[in-house]
Every structure is written in structure tokens, then in C-alpha cells.
Structure 1
């Protein structure tokens, strides 16, 4: 891995917290992701399943974690099954985790090779009543591919049909949404790498550059700072492209007078950052662009202050809607009649700001979190208001990543990344 070693105290704590939520006489199983094929002998780069990573730190394929707090055999209360390394694998792919390295990474003392899994699992399954399976229940999930986890669950339920089945996901949704300080530090590092990329791009952009050239500048800076690259598919949208919310073609030329909307950020050690900025191609905002930019920035600042413990996510978005409505009235994009006659299910401001303001962020860009439960200290959220005006040929979105504090305003992990219009212009024209 490119990233520096992570203190295994994080994974030890995460497993302890998960085990404390399990039913008596139960075990939980977590699988790595597959390496997905493209065609012929080509594959996609491996991305570890975030749940097994969260609980073990193991970042390789064909790995299985079992947590069994009440196991009568103390050796089997935490078990890793790993793909056995050998000289051939070491030559062709690089050495996989040894048992000693797995202990150092995860803090788990009992490590078996994968070929012993069925035999050891049989022993453990005879000693438990309930098995926790790991299903994807994220509110944005839309998965058509059968995963390694899915296949394992089918095998397990078929082989052991008399066991009760429970779900790991509700436990993980709550645990993963509240970040440990080690996690916050890793996310801060991802944000710091993102800052380096953004400052590089401010020096690079000028009329005539292409969106994909800007993408390359970001990638260069991310890779040279131990990131695997973008935390999500990058959006680099010049001019009217910014009014396509998930524009990812990045193949157009940036013209004098245009704005460019960036939604581009680095990952680090599988943790995401998520940044949006909007800058003028020629280094100067027009009067109208600046009016809209400042309006979006004001909404972002005020929306950030609302992210405090006890707040409900749905109510938070209603309040941000009121902030945005006020700004759109001031910009002349809405009038009082629009607001008076609005549909409560699709308020008038949604014409120009149609997406949500905040989502959890962590190991996943749209991270785990139960949206019907109050916001807690050390949850991390994006704040990303935008105004999109196709008839005027530009859209503006501004986004930072914020850690909810026990008291006061949230801590901005991206507080060092330029956002004020004057600073953007100054840096682009220095």
C-alpha cells in the first residue's frame, strides 16, 4: 500500500465496539471484495470492502474476518482467514500478508490460511446460535453485481440452515458514522492532499486548457502524496457543464469568461475527502458570477453552523432550504410569488439547488449513518450548497468536510483550502 502504517489500536477498538453490540452466542463474518474482471485477463484495481477494513485493517483480496466474543475457545474469538502467500505469488504479484504481518496490521493473534476455513468454521458454527451476515443497506445502494460477501452468505445459510441470522449493518451504520481520532487524522491527511492538488490547479488554469488536463494535474499531486488517486469519479465542469450535477466526461475546453466547477478530492488509506470549488478560468469573476458565488458561500457558512449534536438531518435540510430561498430572492432568481405558491414537497429553491446539502463521509464518500437519528459529536459531514443557472451558462458549488464538535461550530478539515473569492483571484493572478 502507498499509505503509511495505521495504528492497529483503531481496529482493535472497532472490533471491541462491534462485539459489544452482538447477541449472546453469536458470531459475525466479514469478507473482502473480489478483484473484478474487465475482459480477457484484465482486472480493475482492487478496492477493499470497507467493513472488513474498518474492523481489521486488512487491505487484500480473499480475506475473511470472524468475530465470536463468546467462543469457548479463546483463540477463536477473533480469527482471520487469509490467502496463503508463496514464492510464485511473491514473484508475480508481490508477497501477501504473512501471519506475523496480519497480527501487526490488525492486532488479531489467530490467523489461518483460507484453505482451512471450512473446517475451522464448522467447529465455530457448532458453538454458536446466531450468525451475523453483512448486507449492504446504505440508503444510496443500488448494486447489481453479486459480491464475494453475497456468495459467502449463500454458502453459509445453505450449509447451516438451523442457525438464526442477524444483520451486521445496523451495528456498523452506527459505529462507522462516529469517527475515532485516528480516523479523523487520516481524513485530515486526505484533505491536506486535496489542498495540494487544488493549489496546483490554481497555478495551472488559464483560458484554453482542457478539463482533462486539469484532472491530470490533480492526479499528479494526489499520487505523489501517497494517495491512490481520486476518492470518487472527478467532476471538472467548465461553463454550462457545471449544470450537469454528475458531469464526469471532463473533455471540454475551458474558455475565457467561464467558471469551472471542481468536485474532486483525494483518498488516503481508504478514507475519503470531498471538495467542491468553483473558479474563474481567466482568474477574475464577473460581477454577476461574484454575486452568485458570494451567495453560495454565505449559505455554506450558515449551514455549517447548524451541524451540531442533536440536530436531525431532515430538519437541517429544511433550515438550509430557508437560507437558500433568501439568497435566491436576493439574486432575483425567485420572487415572493414563487415562494408563496411553492409545492412543499419540492420547494421553489429546488429549481436552482436540487441536491442535498450534506452527507456523512469517511471510509466511503457517502459514508454510513442512520439519517433518522440525531447528529452526534465526531460525525463528519460534507456541506455543499450550490446554485445552478443554465440560462446564464454557469453553476457554482462550494463544499468542505466538517467534524461535529461537542460544543460550538464544527471543525473544518478543509479550513486551509482557499474559498473566499478575493483569495481565489489573488492566487490565480499572483
Structure 2
């Protein structure tokens, strides 16, 4: 892996916390993600299953974690199964983890090769009553490709139909929502790399630059700082493209007098950063652009102060909507009388700010968690208000990553330029 070694105590503690949530006599099984095909014999870059990584730190394909806390044999309470390598694999693919290396990474003492999995599972299933199986239960997930976990679920239920089956996802959603100190440090590293990329862009952007050239500069800075690359598809949206929320074509020219909205974030050790900045292509905001920018910034600052323990997403978004509504009135985009008479279920501000303000962040950019769970210390949220005025060709979004603490919100991107004056100063030739 490109990233520096991560302490295995992170994964040891994560497994301990997970094990405490299991019913007596339970086995839990987690599989690595598949290597996904493209065409012919091509494949996509491997991305580990977030739950498996969270529990083991293993970043290798065809890996399986089996947990059986109540096993009478202490050596069989935590087992990792790995793909066994050989000279052919070494020649064509490179080195794979040895058992000793996997034990050092994960803190798991019992390591078997993958071809022993079914035999070991069969022995342990005779001693177990409950089986926890893993699924992707993110509320926005659209899963059309069958995963290794999904294939195992079908096989396991067919082979062992009389066991009691349980869901791992609710437990994982609960645990992963709260970040440990070790996780926060990894996320700070991802944010720092992202900040370096943004500073690089401030000296690069000028009229005539192509959106994809900006994206290339981001990749360069990510890769040279031990990031595997972007945590998600980068949005580089100049001019009216900024009014397309998920614009990723990144193929237009950045023109004099326009703004360019950039939504990107580095991945480090599988943890994501998620930044958005909007800057003037020529280095100087017009009067109208500055008005809109400052409005978004005021909404952002007000919203961040609401990311405190005990608050909830519903309360939070209601508050942000009211602040945004007032800003849009001041910008002349909404009429105060119309706002007083609006349908509360269809607030008028949604015409110019149609997305949510925050989502959980962690191993996944849109990280798992319960949207109805009150904010707690250790949660990390994005804060990303925006104003999109299609008729004026102006789109402004600003985004930072915020850690909820008992002492108030902690901005993990506080060192990344944000104020309009600072942006203009740093963009001067």
C-alpha cells in the first residue's frame, strides 16, 4: 500500500467493539470486495470492502474474516483467510500478504489460506446458533452487481438452513459513525493532502485552462503524497456547469469572468476527505459573484455551529434552510411575501439550494450511519451549502469536514483557504 502503516490496535479495538454487540453463540463473516471487470481481460483498480477493512486493516482481494467470540478454542475466535500465493502469482501480480504480515497488520493471530475456509466454517457452524452476514444497507445504495458477501449469503443459507441469521449492517453503521482518535488522524491526513492540492490549483487556474487540466493537477498532488487517488469522482465545473450538481465530464474551457466550482477529496488509507471550493477563473470575483459567495459562506459558518452533540439532522437542515432563505431574499432571488405564503413542505429556497447540507464522512464519502441518530462526539460531517442560479450561470458551493466534539465543532480543513479575500490574494500572479 502507498499509505504508511496503520497501528493494528485500531482494528483490534474495532473487532472488540463489534464482538460486544453479537448475540451469544454467534459467528460473523465478512468478505473482501471483488476485483471488478471492465472489458476483455481488463479490471478496475481494487477497492477493499469498507467493513472488512474497518475490522482488519487488510487491503487485499479474496480475504475473509470470521469471528466466533464464544468458541471454546481461543485460537478460533478470530480467523483471517487469505489467498495463498505462488510463483506464478508473484510473477504476474506481485507480492501478496504472508500469514505473518497479515497478523501484523490486523492483530489477528489465526491465519488460514482461503482453500481451508469451508472446512473450518463447517466445524465452527456445528457449535454456533446465530450467523451474522454482511450486506450493503446504505440508504442511498443501488446495488446491481452481486458481491462476494451476497454470493456467500446464498450459499451459507442453502448449506446451513436451520441456523438463525442476523444482519451485521446495523451494528457496523452504529460503530463506524463514531471515529476513534486513530481514524481521525487518518482523516486529517486525507484533508491535509486535499488542502495541498487546492493550494496548488490557486497558482494554476487562469482563463483558457481546461477543466480536465485542473483535475490532472489534483491527481498529481494526491499521488505524490501517498494517496491512492480521489476518494470519489472529482467535479471540476466552470461557469454554468457548476449548476449541475454531479457534473463530472470536466471537459470545458474555464473562461475569463466565470467561476469554477471544484468538489474533490483525497483518499488516504481508505479514509476520505471531501472538499468544495469555488474560485474566480481570472482571480477576481465580480460584484455579483462576491455577493453570492459571501452568502454561501455565511450559511456555512452558521451551519457549522449547529454540528454539536445532541442536535439532529432534521433540526439542523431546518435551521440551515431558514438561514439560506434569508440570504436568498437578500440576494433578490426570493420575494419575502412569497416566502411567508409558501408551502412548508415545498420551501422556495430549494430552487436555488436543492441538496442536503451535510452527510457523514469516513471510510466512505457518504459514510454509513443512522440519519435519525442524534449527533455524538466523534462523528465527522461534511458541511456544504451552495447557491445555484442557473439563469445567471453562477454556482457556488463551499465545503469543509467537521468533527463533532464536546467542546464544539472542529474544522478538519481549517488550514485550507476559504475567505474570498484570501482566495483572491493567493491567486495573484
TM-score range, shorter chain: over 0.9
Is 1:335 the counterpart of 2:314 in the alignment? Answer: no
How far apart, CA to CA, are the structure 1 residues paired with 2:407 and 2:167? 34
Question: 1:39 is paired with a residue of what secondary structure?
Answer: coil
> What do the CA deviations read for 1:147-179 (whole angstroms, capped 9, x no partner)?
111001111111000000000000000100000
Structure 1 counterpart of 2:411: 412
Q: Indicate the residue corresponding to 1:84 in structure 2.
A: 84
Farther-moved stretch of structure 1 (192-201 vs 343-352): 343-352
TM-score calculated relative to the size of structure 1: 0.99
What are the equivalent positions in structure 2 for 1:25-424 lying under 5 Å apart? 25-408=25-408, 410-424=409-423
Structure 1 residue 89: deviation in Å?
1.2
Q: Write the distance in 1 (CA, Å) between the matches of 2:45 and 2:135.
A: 23
Between stretches 79-88 and 271-280, larger displacement belongs to 79-88
Verify the 8 A CA contact 1:86 1:95 in the aligned structure 2.
no
C-alpha separation between the residues in 2 aligned to 1:116 and 1:143? 29
What is the distance in 1 between the residues matched to 2:154 and 2:62? 17
User: CA–CA distance in 2 between the matches of 1:301 and 1:114?
Assistant: 51
* Partner Cα distance (1:8, 1:90) in 2: 26
What is the CA-CA distance between 1:407 and the residue it aligns to?
2.5
Which whole-Å CA distance do the structure 2 matches of 1:115 and 1:223 have between them? 35
1:3 matches 2:16:
no
- Describe the superposition over 1:76-108 as per-residue Cα deviations: whole angstroms up to 9, x where unpaired: 100001100122211211111110001000000
Alignment deviations for residues 191-211 of structure 1 (CA, whole Å, 9 cap, x no partner) = 000011001111000000000
Count residues in correspondence: 429
Supply the distance in 2 between the matched residues of 1:289 and 1:73 (Cα, whole angstroms).
67
3-state DSSP of counterpart to 2:144: coil
Q: Which moved more, 1:329-338 or 1:26-35?
A: 329-338
Q: CA deviation at 1:311?
A: 0.6
**The residue matched to 1:199 in structure 2 has which SS?**
helix
Cα deviations by residue, 1:326-378 (Å, 9 ceiling, x for unpaired): 11111111111221222222211101000000000000000011011111001
Q: Is the 8 A contact 1:207 1:282 kept in 2?
A: yes
1:126-159 Cα offsets, whole Å, 9 max, x none, are 1100000101111111111111110011111110
User: Matches of 2:407 and 2:192 in 1, distance apart?
Assistant: 25
Deviations 1:243-267, CA, capped at 9 Å, x for gaps? 0000000000000000000001111
Aligned twin of 2:427: 428
Cα distance in structure 2, aligned partners of 1:240 and 1:72: 64
The answer to whether the 8 A contact 1:226-1:268 is kept is yes
**Cα separation, 1, equivalents of 2:161 and 2:185:** 43
For 1:112 and 1:384, the matched residues in 2 are separated by: 45
Q: Structure 1 unaligned segments of length 5 or more: list them.
A: none
CA distance in 2, matches of 1:155, 1:112: 20
CA distance in 1, matches of 2:186, 2:25: 35
Q: CA deviation at 1:312?
A: 1.1
SS of the aligned residue for 1:322 comes to helix
Equivalents in 2 of 1:138, 1:305: separation in Å?
27
Q: Which runs of 5+ in 2 are unaligned?
A: none
Q: Deviations over 1:380-426 (max 9, x none)?
A: 00000000001111100000000001122x11110000000000000
CA RMSD between the two structures? 0.7
Q: Distance in 1 between matches of 2:257 and 2:338?
A: 30
TM-score by length of 2: 0.99
Moved more, 138-147 or 378-387: 138-147
| Distance across 2 between alignment mates of 1:346 and 1:388 | 17
CA contact (8 A) 1:403 1:413 kept: yes
